[in-house]
């Protein structure tokens, strides 16, 4: 089949690779003039790495990424450890694939270079998808410059503000969660003894939480710092914020957090909006994938991982079904429940991370601390369903 993919983000490029792997031809239409992503890190859990290993890309990721030693949880102000349990070896032994941290730009570069090595694919930049129409036999994509392109299937991997989704289901109605995420990246050598350890660390606080980890072979520290706020309207990765505001949001927090905010060149913020699961992801020969289908709050580090799982299933079901429409229906039926469940759990996690009262903190973090001391395997077990899931299994 000829698959047209709207969007060259993590979801779109992975879909292209999975479709080629399953024998389809691919065209990626990306609005931006260059492929790339914002200057921030991203976590790749084992359930997503399994897809890249099936595509033969496991080694390529190892060249760019970091394998965190442990998962940690700490109190945001005192730095008091709630738990620290091993991750690098455990991920391989328990879930069969590594857990990685990577810079987003490296992630996109890696996927794009893997695509460039393939035949029967083209990535067209500066191509903005404006809409689509379809017949029984084909789908035609309408571009903003007035040109058109026809194929067998259109995949809307055009992100949280998807135009493909808007045409399929009408305008989106996101709800502001009252949370804003700051993000920053800093060379480790600028942080001295305050540098975050090479772990996946969640820092809990009253009405706020942070995640720290390392990227670029461990040479940079990455911070995502989420704080509760009123009345935000703009949902964008590229909105810059002031250092004073970020430092005021995290005043009194552990120096590992505040030092990153002090030393970073630029600070960006992303207002977090929540959305209920969509009623459908498929309209005949057109399907939504990744954030276009199930945008989720970043409280489980699974948004892109779900896009990667989607990509494998969509390509496989199109290869094994009698028609494009059947393949896309099968894709939705395999993926909908799992992605919606992760979307709901991500939404629920904001409450766990931001306990406001002393009693609430004790009731939530006390058992975490105890589990880390006496039954660390319990914490690993809680992730089995998520990280141990093998979407590539026949």
Interacting residue ranges for ligand FAD, rule: CB under 6 A: 6-12, 29-32, 42-43, 128-129, 157-160, 163, 181, 183, 224, 270, 290-292, 298, 301-305, 307
Structure tokens at 380: 């690993």
CA pair distance 153, 156, nearest whole angstrom: 10
**Shortest distance, CB of residue 212 to ligand FAD, whole angstroms?**
12
Query: Could you give the dihedral angle defined by the CA atoms of residues 286, 291, 295 and 301, in that order, rounded to the nearest 10 degrees?
Result: 140
Examine the residue annotation and report whether 99 is marked as an active-site residue of this protein.
no
Partners of residue 102 on adjacent β-strands: 42
**Shortest distance, CB of residue 160 to ligand FAD, whole angstroms?**
6
Structure tokens at 381: 């077990």
Provide the edge-to-edge strand list for the sheet that holds 2-6: 121-125, 25-30, 2-6, 153-156, 286-288, 282-283
**Shortest distance, CB of residue 179 to ligand FAD, whole angstroms?**
10
Shorter beta-carbon distance to ligand FAD: residue 318 or 342: 342
Shorter beta-carbon distance to ligand FAD: residue 303 or 372: 303
Residue number with the smallest Cβ distance to ligand FAD: 9
CA pair distance 108, 44, nearest whole angstrom: 13
The greatest distance separating any two alpha carbons of the chain, rounded to the nearest whole angstrom, comes to 64
Query: How is 21-71 classified by DSSP, letter by letter?
Result: HTT-EEEEEESSSS----S-EEEE-HHHHHHHHHTT-HHHHHHH-B--SEE
**Shortest distance, CB of residue 244 to ligand FAD, whole angstroms?**
21
Shorter beta-carbon distance to ligand FAD: residue 261 or 305: 305
Closest CA to 272 of 295, 246, 302, 301: 295
Shorter beta-carbon distance to ligand FAD: residue 27 or 160: 160
Structure tokens at 158: 């055009």
Partners of residue 286 on adjacent β-strands: 154, 283
**Shortest distance, CB of residue 31 to ligand FAD, whole angstroms?**
3
Choice among 132, 213, 365, 387 that is catalytic: 213
Shorter beta-carbon distance to ligand FAD: residue 276 or 362: 276
Structure tokens at 244: 């004073």
Please report where in the chains the tokens 């083209």 appear, as a residue. Answer: 122
**Chain centroid to CA 381:** 22
**Shortest distance, CB of residue 302 to ligand FAD, whole angstroms?**
5
Shorter beta-carbon distance to ligand FAD: residue 28 or 371: 28
Cβ contacts of 262 within 8 Å, gap of 6 or more: 243, 247
Q: Which positions are annotated as active-site residues?
A: 213
């Amino acid at each position: 089949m000829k698959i047209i993919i709207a969007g060259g983000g993590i979801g779109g490029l992975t879909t292209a690779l999975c479709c080629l792997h399953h024998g389809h031809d691919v065209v990626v239409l990306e609005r931006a003039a260059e492929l790339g992503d914002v200057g921030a890190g991203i976590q790749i859990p084992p359930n997503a790495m399994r897809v890249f290993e099936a595509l033969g890309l496991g080694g390529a990721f190892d060249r760019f990424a970091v394998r965190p030693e442990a998962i940690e949880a700490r109190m945001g102000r005192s730095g008091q450890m709630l738990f620290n349990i091993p991750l690098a070896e455990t991920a391989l032994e328990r879930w069969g694939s590594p857990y990685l941290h990577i810079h987003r730009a490296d992630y996109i570069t890696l996927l794009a270079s893997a695509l460039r090595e393939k035949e029967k694919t083209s990535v067209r930049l500066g191509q903005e998808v404006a809409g689509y129409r379809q017949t029984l036999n084909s789908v035609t994509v309408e571009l903003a410059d007035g040109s058109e392109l026809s194929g067998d299937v259109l995949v809307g991997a055009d992100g949280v503000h998807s135009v493909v989704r808007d045409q399929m289901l009408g305008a989106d109605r996101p709800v502001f969660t009252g949370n804003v995420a700051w993000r920053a990246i800093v060379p480790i050598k600028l942080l001295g003894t305050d540098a975050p350890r090479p772990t996946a660390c969640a820092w809990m606080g009253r009405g706020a939480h942070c995640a720290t980890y390392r990227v670029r072979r461990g040479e940079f520290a990455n911070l995502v710092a989420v704080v509760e706020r009123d009345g935000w309207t703009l949902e964008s990765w590229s909105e810059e914020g002031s250092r004073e505001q970020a430092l005021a949001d995290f005043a009194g927090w552990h120096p590992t957090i505040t030092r990153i905010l002090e030393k970073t060149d630029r600070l960006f913020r992303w207002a977090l909006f929540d959305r209920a699961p969509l009623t459908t992801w498929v309209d005949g020969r057109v399907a939504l994938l990744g954030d276009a289908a199930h945008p989720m709050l970043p409280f489980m580090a699974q948004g892109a991982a779900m896009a990667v799982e989607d990509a494998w299933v969509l390509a496989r079901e199109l290869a094994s079904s009698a028609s494009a429409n059947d393949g896309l229906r099968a894709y939705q039926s395999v993926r909908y429940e799992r992605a919606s469940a992760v979307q709901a759990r991500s939404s629920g996690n904001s409450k766990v991370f931001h306990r406001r009262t002393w009693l609430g903190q004790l009731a939530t973090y006390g058992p975490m601390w105890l589990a880390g001391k006496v039954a660390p395997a319990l914490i690993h077990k809680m992730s089995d369903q998520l990280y141990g899931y093998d979407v590539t299994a026949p």
